[in-house]
């Protein structure tokens, strides 16, 4: 069986406060399949840093990866226009989408994600909870998982 292709989305220009979390998530996701977007978890990547690629190249490459993915996992605690856009495109493409957020941000999630019944939007408060969500979503019946074990 071929390995699962996982598109991971996390804030870049929306702010890098959660970058350590993204790195942890990318490492966890790597146990379930190939993570196409490992750079999102790069601790050295800042919202203002320089990169070799133009915005156009980044956009084209990320959309190609998104189209070719089997599942999308988005960390949505830090609001990001790019992540919101990727989630919307993934929905239109019919991809299974898991949106994860942690406690500790006092702002509420956007209603456009929290209120969308076609997304699986789950909170985690510990690494154990996070791992349980990933396991349930990526290992078994991933499109149907809604947070109840
Ligand atoms: O609006 P944001 O920048 O927060 O959007 C983040 C999302 O868009 C991530 O999930 C990525 O998949 C995608 N994305 C945005 N910027 C990049 C990027 N380089 N490289 C790859 N994917 C990206 C930005 C260069 C950086 C030095 C600012």
Task: Decide whether any atom of ligand 1 lies within 6 Å of the 36 Cβ.
Answer: no
Phi, psi of 49, deg, nearest 5:
-60, 165
Task: Decide whether any atom of ligand 1 lies within 6 Å of the 11 Cβ.
Answer: yes
Angular region, 109: left φ>0, alpha ψ -120 to 50, beta rest: beta
CA 122 / ligand 1 centre spacing (Å):
22
Task: Decide whether any atom of ligand 1 lies within 6 Å of the 49 Cβ.
Answer: yes
Q: What is the Cα–Cα distance from 92 to 87, expressed in whole angstroms?
A: 9
Q: Atom 19 (ligand 1): residue with closest C-alpha?
A: 58
* 3-state SS assignment for residue 112: helix
**Rounded to 5 degrees, what angle do the CA atoms 142, 143, 148 make?**
70
Q: What is the pLDDT of residues 91-107, one digit of tens each?
A: 999 999 999 999 877 78
pTM: 0.93
Q: What is the pLDDT of residues 2-47, one digit of tens each?
A: 789 999 999 999 999 999 999 999 999 999 999 999 889 998 888 8
Among 65, 140, 124, 137, residue whose Cα is nearest residue 98: 137
């Amino acid at each position: 069986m071929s390995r699962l292709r996982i598109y991971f989305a996390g804030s870049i220009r929306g702010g890098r406060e959660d970058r350590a979390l993204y790195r942890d998530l990318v490492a966890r996701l790597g146990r379930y399949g190939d993570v196409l977007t490992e750079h999102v978890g790069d601790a050295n990547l800042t919202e203002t840093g320089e990169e070799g690629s133009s915005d156009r190249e980044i956009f084209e490459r990320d959309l190609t990866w998104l189209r070719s993915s089997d599942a999308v996992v988005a960390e949505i605690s830090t609001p990001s226009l790019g992540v919101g856009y990727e989630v919307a495109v993934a929905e239109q493409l019919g991809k299974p989408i898991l949106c994860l957020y942690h406690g500790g941000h006092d702002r509420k999630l956007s209603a456009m994600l929290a209120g969308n019944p076609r997304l699986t939007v789950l909170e985690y408060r510990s690494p154990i909870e996070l791992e349980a969500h990933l396991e349930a979503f990526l290992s078994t019946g991933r499109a149907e998982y809604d947070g109840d074990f």
